[in-house]
Amino acid sequence: MNLDKSLLKKNPSCLPAGTGSPAGLLGMTFGYHIVTFGCQMNKNDSERVEAILRPMGMQSVETPEEADVILINSCSIRASAEDRVFGMTRNFQALKKKKPHLIVAVTGCMPGRDKDGKLENTIQGVDLFFPTKDMVMLPKWLSELNPNLRPIDLDADYLSVSPIHHVKAQAFVTIQTGCNHFCTYCVVPFARGLEGNRSLKSILDEVRDLADHGCLEITLLGQIVNHYIAPDKEYFSPQNPYHKNEFAKLLWEINQIEGIERVHFTAPHPIYMDDEMIDALTLPTQLNFIHLPVQSGNSAMLEKMNRRHTREQYLETIQKIRAKRPGIAIATDIIVGFCGETEEQFHDTVSLYQHCDFDISYTAKYSQRSGTLAAKMFVDDVSVEEKKRRWFLLQHIMEDSTKRKNQAYIGKEVSVLVDTYKNGICQGNSSEMKRVMFDGGEELFGTIVSVKIEKAEMWILVGNMVYC
C-alpha cells in the first residue's frame, strides 16, 4: 500500500498496530479480524463488513494478534452470548497495551438493543460500538481513527453492500431485517428494529449474480422470513402461480433462475404457513427440510410468549406439511423454563415433540433479556436447576429420535452438497439437512453428488459416493 510519509510525520498516531516507525509501513497492508457470534444473519452481515473493509486497503488475517482492526459481530439472544463478548473485549485490552493503535469495534445485536447506553458504558477497551444498520459509517469512523485507511463512499442502506462469499457454491441472501411481532422473550425488535423488506428486484439480481458465478445453493434469511412483503411487486412474473403469500411467490421466482439447484430459508413463523406457502415446499429446488420454530407445546405458554399460534394450530400445520411433502425433515426451536412454566405445561411440550417426531430441535433454557416485554411483565421464576433438568430431558428424547430416524436412510441414496474436504474425507449436507460423510477427492468440494448411505449415527450419515 502506498502511504504519504508527510501524513505520517504530521500524524504519528495513525501508525498501524505493532509498527514502530514510518519506515515499517512501506509495502504493508492493514489486517482485519472478524469474530461472529449468533445466527446466519449475523454471518451474512459479517460478509458485508468484509466487503466494506477490503476496498479500504485491508485484508483478512487469521488471528487477533495480527490485526489492525478487530470487529466483533455480537449476538444478544441469550446472556451467555453477550458474556462472551464482554470476556473477549477484556482480553483485547491486554493486546491493545502491546499494540496501542489497534482498533476494536463491536457491532450486531448488542449495540442494536443498547438504547440507553448502559452496555456501551459497561464494555471496556472498545473504540467503536454501533448497530448493524450503521456499518455504512465504518469507513468514515475507521479512517478518522487511522487516516492511512482508505475512505470509501457507501449508500445509506447497508443491505446494498454486496457480501463477500467465501464458499462459491453456497451463499446467504438476506431478504428482510427486523421484526414487528414482539415475542415477549425476544430481543430482536429492539436489536434490529421493526421489519424491513428488501426490494424484490435487488434480491433477484443478487441471486442471478450468484448463479452466474457458480452458486448452487442459497439460504434466504429473515427474522420471519415467510412474512416477506415485496415493496416492488411489479417485478413478480405474470406467470407466478401464487397470489397471496409473497414469500411463496419469491420462492417461485428464484426457482426460475438457472443454476440455482438448492433453496433453503430460515426462519419461518407457523402463522404464515398458509396453503400457498406449504405448496411452495414442493418447488423443484426446495430442500426436503423445514425449520419451523414452535417454542412451547402449551397454548397458555404460547400466549404468554406472544407467539400468536396455539398448540393445535401448530400440529395442524405440521400435518398439512407432511401431507403435501411426505418424508420432509422438520426441525424446530423450543424454550424451556419460560416465566411461570409449570411441570404440566412442560410435559405438553414433550408430548408435542413426540407427536411431531421432529428430526432435530434447538432447545434453549430461557434467559431473561433486559428490555424485552417478558423482563418487564413477568418473573423469571423457574430455577436454573429445573431449566437444566427440562433441557436434558428434551435433549435425550431428541437424541433418541434423531438416531432412530437416521436409520431410515441406510441403503438409500441422498444428494449431498460437499462443503468440507480434509485428508480424503468429504462432508456436506443432504437435501434433508443431514450431515453426510464419505471418501472422496478435493475436486468434489463445491459440487453436488449422490451418496449411498451405509451407516447412520446420531449426528452423521456415512456412505459411499455413487458414480454415474
Q: What is the pLDDT of residue 80?
A: 85
Mean pLDDT of the chain, nearest integer: 91
pLDDT for the residue 22: 29
| 155-182 per-position pLDDT tens digit | 888 888 889 888 899 999 999 999 999 9
What mean pLDDT comes out for the span 293-314? Answer: 98
pLDDT above 60 (res 39): yes
Top-confidence residue, 456 or 370:
456
pLDDT at residue 28 in the model? 54
- pLDDT by residue (tens digit) across 320-330? 999 999 999 99
Q: Above 60 in pLDDT, residue 21?
A: no
**Confidence tier at 13 by pLDDT (50, 70, 90):** very low
pLDDT for res 145: 93
CA distance 324 to 408: 20
Tell me: pLDDT of 14 over 60.
no
Which segments within 216-311 are labelled E, that is strand? 217-221, 262-266, 289-291
DSSP string covering 67-97: -SEEEEEE--SSHHHHHHHHHHHHHHHHHHH
Pairing of the two strands 435-439 and 30-36:
unpaired
pTM for the full predicted model: 0.87
**Higher-pLDDT residue of 386, 112:** 386
Write the CB contacts of 239 (distance below 8 Å, at least 6 apart in sequence).
none
- In the numeric block, the cell 406467470 is attached to 239
Domains delineated in the chain: 5-158 (3.40.50.2300), 161-408 (3.80.30.20), 410-465 (2.40.50.140)
Spacing of C-alpha 120 from chain mean position: 24
Q: CA nearest 159: which of 131, 188, 198, 127?
A: 198
- Nearest Cα to 374, choosing from 348, 337, 343, 333? 337
Nearest to 40 by CA among 176, 156, 160, 162: 176
Tell me how far apart the alpha carbons of residues 289 and 414 are, in angstroms, rounded to a whole number: 13
> What pLDDT, on the 0 to 100 scale, is given for residue 17?
37
Q: Which of 380, 383, 381 is nearest to 370 (CA)?
A: 380
Tell me the per-residue pLDDT of 80-102, one tens digit each, with 9 for 90 and over: 889 999 999 999 998 999 998 89
* Percent of the chain residues topping a pLDDT of 90: 80
- The pLDDT-based confidence of 151 (bands split at 50, 70, 90) is confident
- Mean pLDDT for the stretch of residues 226-247: 97
Average pLDDT value for residue range 56-77 = 93
What is the pLDDT at residue 19?
37
Instruction: Give the closest residue to 334 by CA, choosing from 396, 391, 264.
Output: 391
First to last CA, the chain: 50
Residue 154's pLDDT is 86
